[in-house]
Structure 1
Amino acid sequence: MDKFSAFLSFLAFVLLLKQILIVDGISDTTKDDGFMGILGAIVDNSSRIGKEESVAMQIAVEDFFNKNNQRLDLKIRNSQGDPLQAALAARSLINTDQVQAILGPQTWEEVSLVAEIGSKSHIPIMSLADATPVWATELCTFLVQASPNKLKQMEAIAAMVQRWEWHQVTIIYEDKDFSAPAVLSHLSDALQEVGAEISHYLAILPFASSSLSEELQRLKSSQFRVFVVHLSLPVAVELFEKAKIMNMMEKDYVWIIIDPFASLVHSFNASTISSMQGIVGVKSYLPENESHFQDFRYKFRQRFSSEHPEEVNHEPSIFAAEAYDLTWTVALAISKKKQGRQQIISNILQSDVDGLSGKINFTRQTIAPAHTFQIINVIGESYRELGFWSDGRGFSETIGESDTLKSSMNALGQVFWPGGIQGTPKGWSPPTSANPLKIGVPTTATFKQYVEVEQVHLGNNISFSYKGLAIDVFKATLEELPFDLLYNFFPFNGTFDALVEQIHLKNFDAAVGSISILANRYQHAEFTAPYTESGLVMIVPVRSRTREKAWLFVKPFTNAMWILIGATSIYNGFVIWLIERNHCPELKGSISNQVGTLIWLAFSTLFSLNGNKLKSNLSRITMVVWLFMALVITQTYTANLASLLTLPQLEPTVVDVFALQNSNAMVGCAGASYTSKYLEEVLHFRHNNIKNFSRADEYAPALRRREVAALFLDLPLAKVFLAENCKSFTMTGPTYKVGGFGFAFARGSQLLPSVTQAMLKVSENGTVRDLEKNMLASQKCMDMDLEDDRLSLSLNPSYFWVLFLFTGGTSSMALAIYIFRAYNSMSMSEHNVSWKLMMAVMKHWGNQRGRFSRKVSDIAQTTPTNSPNATEY
């Protein structure tokens, strides 16, 4: 039994010695069956990534031998994260061990030194650093970027920020990390695409514990709560441990981690995981369900647990898979017989391998970038998968060619946020008393009714008071917010454009005043909804319409009304004349006399012919209806004429912009506003014809003295000006569409949506209208719309069509009855009259036309008037 135990111990010792010799690169090379050469590797065995890479490379060499019966000696050197140690290791591998290629190192600082040594010896250097500059691969033809570029994960972060409606992001990165500039640039661009931005950059010095605490305290005192962490593993772990102690892993905080840290979450111990609860991560996608990976995973766990028992978790990460794939790819390139060093790198760059981490191929000495990432949520003792993000396809629940990917965050599972909440955090907090909102207020506003800043002297101290409509609306808006917003006003002596730029420069958090919402200002700030009407209007002096006084008496009625009155009067007069002509001798006579009598009757009967002179009932009925219509019309005319005589008859001196341009007239505007540029570039006024005013009290005198023919103001300011000067000036011409007045906030401000919503409430409930009305109440003068007065005072037939229809219908009915009765009377006496007419014609055939006419008249008059067939109506 003792001999057997001794034998087993000896066998175990031999196997262990063989394993150690293989790891150290001292394998038996006396047999050259299947031997291809020696492969070198430089890793940092003090880091988790380096440990995983070392084990994965060993497994790859063994698997390659087992599958192809081709042996490759692997010599691994530990750089301990020191660039100088990495350079010495590279020189030793090349000069002493005669390696054919070197895998690693992990950081660019190490790669830069190793690449220089490898290029001189024409040894391929396969960089596993996060990022390698393009210029480096161009200068060093034997340097290959073998670690996939993972910058696409910045777009996944931007997509999450957009979905959860955050606007400001703070990024925390390592001060001396070479990959940080590329990460910052890509994240900034991605956020801008979705309307967000990086509000703060925090550079962390490694192993500076006191500095880290101070920086976290500053972050805590700010209102922004969305943090993107790009740190190495030890620095990130320290960050979250301190953040938990400082209560920064609670409600409303958002922490997003990215590679390489996110891909190492599985390796953390329970203490570290407990300080990271609720964190969301974006890590490289690893197809763990494939059989090839499952086989690798089994081997990896056994070897890793044996070589690194101090590690609490033995699962492989993306870095182990990439190291395995790279080793296999280089082994394939070396396996081709009779190839020189130049051909080896050529074979590597022509590789097309399906690896554990995905497809392996190169373009210009750079491996294809990663396009798919996994979204994770740290909870409990590890993390859970929320879903995936793929470039060009968005978010999805699963990954696969047959899956239908959804470009929506709804495809992801429920997130467990810091503090244990399940609802989406706001990602910001209102300003506190220690850090209130800084709001700039312009002191150069031309109209003090909107904003006025006054100095208040209290002994030796000087303070400022702020009042005006803009200030009142802002305070009313804050009352509608669901939280208390602490702020301080600060005076700003400069143009409105300069004030908005101060927000972009972080000198102010917001600006309140009569600030016009303009497109060019959006590059520096964002605006709330306007709290005033929008538009640019023209103001001109008014003058009396003296040229229309002579014809003022016709203004009560329109031309159509006068024509209808005249036509109706003539028609009614004709009907009465025709019916009454046989009873009134004065209605008879020559044709010209009768026509004149008819016209006179039409316009004078209403005032001179009494009803008792009318003999026929038909004419009496016509006259009654006619008199009623005339009474209504005359009374209306009198009332309307009285109104025209008492109403001031004024008109604008200029009708439109074209009249100003054609007359080459001077126009005025506010000097510190956008209006001057608008007049020149949009309305095409000459630059020399535009006069800028610095004070509001200069407007009215300049218009009265004809220094300018017109004044262009924003509609809200025009109301104030006309409230003070409505007797002399008026608005005319069209309203040009421009932005109204709004409050400016920093781009991406988390406060902007809440403030805008509150402002809409203030507008909808009438508060803004009441404040504006109170502002103008001190001016006892109402605005006048002259054009509407001119059009509305002249009455048209639409007001009287029933009367005209009634009197016209009555007259027409009377005329029809008269004609019908006259026709029947003429039929009964037709025989006698016709015989006498015939005899008269034969007797006086040769007489002149005048004598014949008189005879016809005499015969007609000899007809007995008392005959039953000749009754008059």
Structure 2
Amino acid sequence: MDNFSAFLSFMAFVLLLKQILIVDGISDTTKDDGFMGILGAIVDNSSRIGKEESVAMQIAVEDFFNKNNHRLDLKIRNSQGDPLQAAIAARSLINTDQVQAILGPQTWEEVSLVAEIGSKSHIPIMSLADATPEWATELCTFLVQASPNKLKQMEAIAAIVQRWEWHQVTIIYEDEDFSAPAVLSHLSNALKEVGAEISHYVAIEPFASSSLSEELERLKISQNRVFVVHLSLPLAVELFEKAKRMKMMEKDCVWIITDPFASLVLSLNASTISSMQGIVGVKSYIPKNETHFRDFHDKFCQRFSLEYPEEDNHEPSIFAAQAYDAAWTVALAMREKKQGRQQIISNILQSDFNGLSGNINFTSQTIAPAHTFQIINVKGESYIELGFWSDGRGFSETTGESYTLQSSTNALGLVSWPGGTRVTPKGWSPPTSANPLKIGVPTRASFKQYVEVEMEKDHLGNISCSYKGLAIDVFKATLDELPFDLPYHFFPFNGTFDALVEQIHLKKFDAAVGNIVILANRYQHAEFTAPYTESGLVMIVPVRSRTREKAWLFIKPFTNAMWVLIGATSIYNGFVIWLIERNHCPELKGSISNQVGTLIWLAFSTLFSLNRNKLKSNLSRITMVVWLFMALVITQTYTAKLTSLLTLPQLEPTVVDVFALKNSNAMVGCAGVSYISKYLEEVLHFRQNNIKNFSGSDEYAPALRSREVAALFLNLPMAKVFLAENCKSFTMTGPTYNVGGFGFAFPRGSQLLPSVTQAMLKVSEKGTLQDLEQKMLASQKCMDMDPEEDERLSHSVSLSHFWLLFVFTGGTSSMALAIYIFRAYNSMSMSKHNVIWKLMMAVMKHWGNQRGRFSRKVSDIAQTTPTNSPNATEY
């Protein structure tokens, strides 16, 4: 067994010695038929990435020789991460070793110097830096970006934030990282697309341990708990070790790591991994199932363990795959003998093959960017694969199928979050007493009923502020409905409302409370709760008497139908009495015109005075009694109604609508420095010269009374307060224009906003909000008439009030008339019967008399018949 171990050690030594000879340009073969030239490489052997690149390039050179029988000498120089050392190494490779191309280095700071040297000597430089500026490849025609741009991973991070419904993130990046500005810009834009934003930017200085600790202390007391870490391997390891000691790797925290750190997780030792439990990472995708990669994987692990036994993990990362592909690309470009350096760079840019890291092709001296990333979750001594994210396809369980965020919430595997919990963290924590919310309150509010800031100075000169008003009361009631305590401090702000909202965007305030109108242009700086007042813009105008200078006021107490029915009933009742009493009263007889005039006089005089003439018939007396009762009620009602019209104000607006204002070229007023002026000009199309801005609410009423302005435009909540103070002089008229109500402002993407909005809705649904508003308005209410009485007196009396009385009097008159007609008919019938009987007796008695005598007898009988028979007595 010992002999076998010694044999293996010997073979490993031989292989290592052979590789060293090859790397230094010394080959154990004397055949130069396949020799293509010398390839240089600059790596940082003090870093994990540099070690992986070095081994991967060696394997690429060997594989190319074995497959194509073309030998390429590889010269590797160690820059130790120092740009100056990289420049010296580049000069040595070009001038001494006569290389035909250079691979690396890893950082842009090194690449920038090496590219300048390479371009002067027309040597192709295959940059392996994370990012290369576009202008660099334009200036340096021999510079090629060989590692793909990974900025698309920022969209993957934004998708993760959207997947778990977080709204704010804190990004931690390296201060001296050249790629940081591009990363921050792409991440910010990607988050905005999903309704989130970067709340804090934390720049970490390399090799500044105290600075790192201070930043973590500040992050620990902040509300946001979603952290995106974009750091190099050493700095990221230090960050997580400190975070664990500070108990920031527990529940309710979210940590998301990016490349290059995410791709190097497997290279970390067990102790470091233990401080990173629960973090989610976005790493570059490597097609590990490909046969080519599996062969490379075995070779890499074997050689890497021999060359770097101090490393705990021997797994190749994306950086090894990219270095292998870069070496293979140059080898293909140099395969033709005796070709110039210009041809080499041309061949490189025409490359198109499937490498270990994906398809290799170039556009404008830059390799195609990465579009697929793997989502991992650190757990135990390694990580678990949650799924994949691809540009334009979203999340998927494998690279072969895709799901959109909306169609599948199970596209990613179950996550083990920091603290070992499976429950998705909220991503934020409520403010504590040590770090309460800073809430701005406007001091320039037009109506103090909504918000008022009173400042008092004590004998020591210290200023204290008290805050009151409906907005303050609603805010406090809302906090009472929250399921957690929310410490806060009010701070006065002496500026415009737009400026106050901008202060939230600038992180000067955590929120703003007051009569802040919810407007679209303010959403670029903040977001708002649900409105706690009615929304709308209304027009207020002076009022004038509705009855002023109207000659027909005397008919207003009754409706037209009421007047017609009174007249008809009076004529009808007068006719009935006239008909019944005409045989007893000589005044009721005479010519037709005289009788008609008497009838009309009798009909209407009863309404205003009692008829003193003595009535003979009981029927007419009954009719008159009912009629007089109706007349008494009607006259008293008319007198009372007319008195109210003459004594109580009947008011109407001086202006009906906006069109009347514009047609008359009238001046209109609004609050100064507000959106209303812009709304009047752009939406309602008032001329700018016809709009007057007032600086205070105390100017509104005098301007309306003096006709300085014909109308005033206010928010509906403000209009309620104004009319409560001036209830008899002004009124609200015209339509209500839809604009935002009053709300509280919070930073965009605030984690508190949903909870505060929900609590405010509870305040509204319980009726507390309405009670607070009524209490505020009641304190401003002026003494006005009872609304019910005002409504009653403002309408004319109609038939609905007296229909029963009219039926009663009409029915009584009709019954009297019917009885009179019936008795008159019977009397006339009996009179006719007596005449006929006497005629018959005369005929029988004087049958024989002469015709003349018969005629005279008939005449005598007719003359002796009484005109007013007792049977014809009228009632």
Range class of TM-score, shorter chain: 0.7 to 0.9
Please state whether the residue corresponding to 1:335 is helix, strand or coil.
Answer: coil
Please state whether the residue corresponding to 1:40 is helix, strand or coil.
Answer: strand
25 and 635 in structure 1: CA distance in 2 versus 1, 3 angstrom threshold: farther
| 1: CA distance, partners of 2:105 / 2:115 | 10
Unpaired runs of at least 5, structure 2:
822-866, 869-873
Residue 146 of structure 1: how far off its partner (Å): 0.9
Q: What are the equivalent positions in structure 2 for 1:92-131 lying under 5 Å apart? A: 92-131=92-131
Give the aligned partner of residue 154 of structure 1: 154
- Counterpart AA for 1:667: V
8 A Cα contact 1:651 1:786, kept in partner: no
Give the aligned partner of residue 335 of structure 1: 335
Residue 805 of structure 1: how far off its partner (Å): 10
Give the aligned partner of residue 862 of structure 1: none
Say which is worse superposed, 654-663 or 579-588, in terms of deviation.
579-588
Give the aligned partner of residue 850 of structure 2: none
- Counterpart AA for 1:292: H
Give the aligned partner of residue 750 of structure 1: 751
Residue 136 of structure 1: how far off its partner (Å): 0.4
Is 1:351 paired with 2:351?
Answer: yes
Give the aligned partner of residue 19 of structure 2: 19
| 1: CA distance, partners of 2:355 / 2:589 | 124
8 A Cα contact 2:615 2:621, kept in partner: no
Please state whether the residue corresponding to 2:707 is helix, strand or coil.
Answer: coil
Is 1:294 paired with 2:294?
Answer: yes
Residue 572 of structure 1: how far off its partner (Å): 9.7
| 2: CA distance, partners of 1:5 / 1:657 | 101
Give the aligned partner of residue 528 of structure 1: 529
Residue 789 of structure 1: how far off its partner (Å): 4.7
Over residues 321-349 of structure 1, what are the superposed CA-to-partner deviations in whole Å (9 max), with x where a residue is unaligned? 22222222222222245532212221221
Over residues 831-852 of structure 1, what are the superposed CA-to-partner deviations in whole Å (9 max), with x where a residue is unaligned? xxxxxxxxxxxxxxxxxxxxxx
- Counterpart AA for 2:65: F
Please state whether the residue corresponding to 1:41 is helix, strand or coil.
Answer: strand
Residue 177 of structure 1: how far off its partner (Å): 0.7
Residue 309 of structure 1: how far off its partner (Å): 1.6
635 and 205 in structure 1: CA distance in 2 versus 1, 3 angstrom threshold: same
580 and 674 in structure 1: CA distance in 2 versus 1, 3 angstrom threshold: same
- Counterpart AA for 2:553: L
- Counterpart AA for 2:255: W
Give the aligned partner of residue 658 of structure 2: 657
| 2: CA distance, partners of 1:38 / 1:589 | 148
Say which is worse superposed, 346-355 or 504-513, in terms of deviation.
504-513
13 and 693 in structure 1: CA distance in 2 versus 1, 3 angstrom threshold: closer
Please state whether the residue corresponding to 1:118 is helix, strand or coil.
Answer: helix
| 2: CA distance, partners of 1:584 / 1:295 | 139
Q: What are the equivalent positions in structure 2 for 1:3-402 lying under 5 Å apart? A: 14-28=14-28, 30-400=30-400
Give the aligned partner of residue 853 of structure 2: none
| 2: CA distance, partners of 1:778 / 1:334 | 91
Give the aligned partner of residue 726 of structure 1: 727
Q: What are the equivalent positions in structure 2 for 1:491-530 lying under 5 Å apart? A: 491-530=492-531
8 A Cα contact 1:393 1:407, kept in partner: no
8 A Cα contact 1:580 1:616, kept in partner: no
59 and 728 in structure 1: CA distance in 2 versus 1, 3 angstrom threshold: same
Say which is worse superposed, 120-129 or 549-558, in terms of deviation.
549-558
747 and 403 in structure 1: CA distance in 2 versus 1, 3 angstrom threshold: closer
Residue 181 of structure 1: how far off its partner (Å): 0.9
Q: What are the equivalent positions in structure 2 for 1:780-819 lying under 5 Å apart? A: 780-781=781-782, 789=791, 793-794=795-796
Please state whether the residue corresponding to 2:509 is helix, strand or coil.
Answer: coil
8 A Cα contact 2:266 2:382, kept in partner: yes
Give the aligned partner of residue 838 of structure 1: none
Give the aligned partner of residue 479 of structure 2: 478
Residue 440 of structure 1: how far off its partner (Å): 1.8
Please state whether the residue corresponding to 1:99 is helix, strand or coil.
Answer: coil
Residue 558 of structure 1: how far off its partner (Å): 3.8
Residue 232 of structure 1: how far off its partner (Å): 0.4
Of all paired residues, the percent bearing the same amino acid is 86
Say which is worse superposed, 138-147 or 539-548, in terms of deviation.
539-548
Over residues 472-499 of structure 1, what are the superposed CA-to-partner deviations in whole Å (9 max), with x where a residue is unaligned? 2211111111111111122222222222
Over residues 93-147 of structure 1, what are the superposed CA-to-partner deviations in whole Å (9 max), with x where a residue is unaligned? 2223322222111110111111112112222111110000000000111111111
Give the aligned partner of residue 838 of structure 2: none
8 A Cα contact 2:395 2:402, kept in partner: no
| 1: CA distance, partners of 2:520 / 2:3 | 92
| 2: CA distance, partners of 1:743 / 1:550 | 54
- Counterpart AA for 1:97: D
Residue 57 of structure 1: how far off its partner (Å): 1.9
- Counterpart AA for 1:206: P
Please state whether the residue corresponding to 1:305 is helix, strand or coil.
Answer: helix
8 A Cα contact 2:606 2:631, kept in partner: no
Q: What are the equivalent positions in structure 2 for 1:428-827 lying under 5 Å apart? A: 428-469=428-469, 470-547=471-548, 550-559=551-560, 562=563, 644=645, 647-781=648-782, 789=791, 793-794=795-796
| 2: CA distance, partners of 1:16 / 1:281 | 35
Unpaired runs of at least 5, structure 1:
820-864, 867-871
- Counterpart AA for 1:505: L
- Counterpart AA for 2:137: T
Please state whether the residue corresponding to 1:547 is helix, strand or coil.
Answer: coil
Residue 502 of structure 1: how far off its partner (Å): 2.2
149 and 810 in structure 1: CA distance in 2 versus 1, 3 angstrom threshold: farther
Is 1:413 paired with 2:413?
Answer: yes
Over residues 751-784 of structure 1, what are the superposed CA-to-partner deviations in whole Å (9 max), with x where a residue is unaligned? 2222222122112212222222222333342679
314 and 723 in structure 1: CA distance in 2 versus 1, 3 angstrom threshold: same
Q: What are the equivalent positions in structure 2 for 1:819-858 lying under 5 Å apart? A: none
| 2: CA distance, partners of 1:249 / 1:733 | 60
| 2: CA distance, partners of 1:409 / 1:2 | 57
578 and 250 in structure 1: CA distance in 2 versus 1, 3 angstrom threshold: farther
Residue 621 of structure 1: how far off its partner (Å): 13
Say which is worse superposed, 474-483 or 491-500, in terms of deviation.
491-500
Over residues 3-24 of structure 1, what are the superposed CA-to-partner deviations in whole Å (9 max), with x where a residue is unaligned? 9999998776544422221233
Over residues 611-661 of structure 1, what are the superposed CA-to-partner deviations in whole Å (9 max), with x where a residue is unaligned? x999999x9999999999999988876776565455421222333333333
| 2: CA distance, partners of 1:667 / 1:273 | 70
TM-score (structure 1 length as normaliser): 0.84
| 2: CA distance, partners of 1:516 / 1:659 | 28
| 2: CA distance, partners of 1:93 / 1:202 | 40
Residue 507 of structure 1: how far off its partner (Å): 2.1
Please state whether the residue corresponding to 2:489 is helix, strand or coil.
Answer: strand
8 A Cα contact 1:537 1:713, kept in partner: yes
68 and 791 in structure 1: CA distance in 2 versus 1, 3 angstrom threshold: farther
| 2: CA distance, partners of 1:8 / 1:157 | 47
Residue 265 of structure 1: how far off its partner (Å): 0.9
8 A Cα contact 2:147 2:322, kept in partner: yes
Please state whether the residue corresponding to 2:76 is helix, strand or coil.
Answer: strand
400 and 729 in structure 1: CA distance in 2 versus 1, 3 angstrom threshold: same
| 2: CA distance, partners of 1:694 / 1:621 | 73
Give the aligned partner of residue 841 of structure 1: none
| 2: CA distance, partners of 1:471 / 1:72 | 78
| 1: CA distance, partners of 2:685 / 2:788 | 27
| 2: CA distance, partners of 1:3 / 1:650 | 118
Residue 224 of structure 1: how far off its partner (Å): 1.9
| 2: CA distance, partners of 1:583 / 1:716 | 74
46 and 800 in structure 1: CA distance in 2 versus 1, 3 angstrom threshold: farther
8 A Cα contact 2:547 2:553, kept in partner: no
Give the aligned partner of residue 841 of structure 2: none
811 and 457 in structure 1: CA distance in 2 versus 1, 3 angstrom threshold: same
8 A Cα contact 2:395 2:404, kept in partner: no
Residue 363 of structure 1: how far off its partner (Å): 0.8
Please state whether the residue corresponding to 2:98 is helix, strand or coil.
Answer: coil
Residue 289 of structure 1: how far off its partner (Å): 2.3
| 2: CA distance, partners of 1:555 / 1:60 | 107
- Counterpart AA for 2:325: D
8 A Cα contact 1:228 1:256, kept in partner: yes
Over residues 784-811 of structure 1, what are the superposed CA-to-partner deviations in whole Å (9 max), with x where a residue is unaligned? 9999959971356678899999999999
Over residues 502-557 of structure 1, what are the superposed CA-to-partner deviations in whole Å (9 max), with x where a residue is unaligned? 22222222222222222222222222222222222222222223436543343344
| 2: CA distance, partners of 1:208 / 1:439 | 34
| 2: CA distance, partners of 1:802 / 1:29 | 131
